[in-house]
Structure 1
Amino acid sequence: MEKEKKHNKKIWIALALVLLIVGGVLVYFSMQTEEPVPTVSAELLPGLRDASDIEIAERAQEIADANYFTLQIAPTATFENGEAEGSIEIVNPGTNVYPIAVDITLADSDEVIYSSGSIHPNQQIVGAKLDKPLEKGEYVAIARVNIYDPETNERQGITEAELSIIVQN
């Protein structure tokens, strides 16, 4: 009988401990208060939301522009004679972030007949003399556009465009 009383007493003590722990946990969580997060209504400050949207769109466009390259080059360059200035037109648009340098070679011989030097964004060449004079005729040429990193000046890539060179006399 004495053993049975001790056993029952242990059960009651264990049960009381479990109830105390559960009660303590409940009291702890009921005393916790969540800090309210202040919100600003878009109706009260519509200019802020619009400005944020505009800034995000502008930043996204800057990132996109930095990852793309566009080139404008006239498909035909005309020269009055092989030694005169002609209508070579190369534009590095202001939307680019990369400086370029263009070498024009004859398609059949790969001989360089014109080198532009550095053309920075928002710069253009609208007329130039050939580095190597050509005889009268029409020539198929390749404009090799070297694209450079604006900070390190290391070449980042090359793109090509075909064009016609016309020497009239």
Structure 2
Amino acid sequence: MGKKHQKKWIVLGLLLLIIGGIVLYFNNQENEPVPIVSADLLPGLRDASDIEIAKRAQEIADANYFTLQIAPFAVFENGESEGSIEIVNPGTNVYPIAVDLTLAETGEVIYSSGAIYPNQQIVGAKLDKSLEKGEYQGIARINIYDPETNERQGITEAEISITIQN
């Protein structure tokens, strides 16, 4: 019975030693992140350095970044006069835009800007449809276009308050 008991302890010791080695191996490995770059995202940079990859990724991000400045209110002396509509397409954008101003209540388009290219702005305009004196809630629908194909790439909206003073 002594030899059989001794074999059990040896097998158990070897098993614990193997398990301990596996645990030590995985605990001592460094979890250093490995950068993965999609070939679709960065075509033509197969053997590029980290700096080249970062530069290209930033170029792609800049080309897809879009900002807009639009005043949250527009004021007109009367329904026929030019008023203070302020829309800015900053020079940091690559996309031309066009803005349609609609009445929130009816969805009726009361102003269309036409194309506003990067680094252009509209600071005053006349409404396409005359409105009576009062306060109106409007929606500025910003259409974003591809600069090469002129196809619409997206739409975003902003609420705007419209005041007709007389």
Match for residue 93 of structure 1? Answer: 90
Match for residue 116 of structure 1? Answer: 113
> Is residue 71 of structure 1 aligned with residue 68 of structure 2?
yes
Count of equivalent residues = 118
Report how far residue 81 of structure 1 moved.
0.6
What SS class does the counterpart of residue 64 from structure 1 fall into? helix
Instruction: Note the residue ranges of structure 2 that are not aligned, 5 or more in a row.
Output: 1-48
The C-alpha deviation readout for 1:73-108, integer Å capped at 9, x for no partner, is 000000011111000000001111100000000000
Q: Distance in 2 between matches of 1:139 and 1:55?
A: 51
Report how far residue 68 of structure 1 moved.
1.5
Report how far residue 65 of structure 1 moved.
1.5
Residue identity matched to 1:72: Q
How high is the TM-score relative to the length of structure 1?
0.65
Q: Distance in 1 between matches of 2:51 and 2:85?
A: 39
Match for residue 46 of structure 1? Answer: none
**Which has more helix, going by share of residues?**
1
> Is residue 147 of structure 1 aligned with residue 124 of structure 2?
no
The C-alpha deviation readout for 1:24-62, integer Å capped at 9, x for no partner, is xxxxxxxxxxxxxxxxxxxxxxxxxxxx99987665443
Instruction: Note the residue ranges of structure 1 that are not aligned, 5 or more in a row.
Output: 1-51
Give RMSD over aligned pairs: 1.8
Could you say if the C-alpha distance between residues 131 and 57 of structure 1 is closer, same or farther in structure 2, counting changes exceeding 3 Å?
same
What SS class does the counterpart of residue 107 from structure 2 fall into? coil
- Structure number with greater Rg is 1
Q: Distance in 1 between matches of 2:68 and 2:139?
A: 14
What SS class does the counterpart of residue 138 from structure 2 fall into? strand
How high is the TM-score relative to the length of structure 2?
0.66
What SS class does the counterpart of residue 144 from structure 2 fall into? strand
Could you say if the C-alpha distance between residues 121 and 58 of structure 1 is closer, same or farther in structure 2, counting changes exceeding 3 Å?
farther
> Is residue 163 of structure 1 aligned with residue 166 of structure 2?
no
State percent identity of aligned pairs. 86
Q: Distance in 2 between matches of 1:80 and 1:53?
A: 57
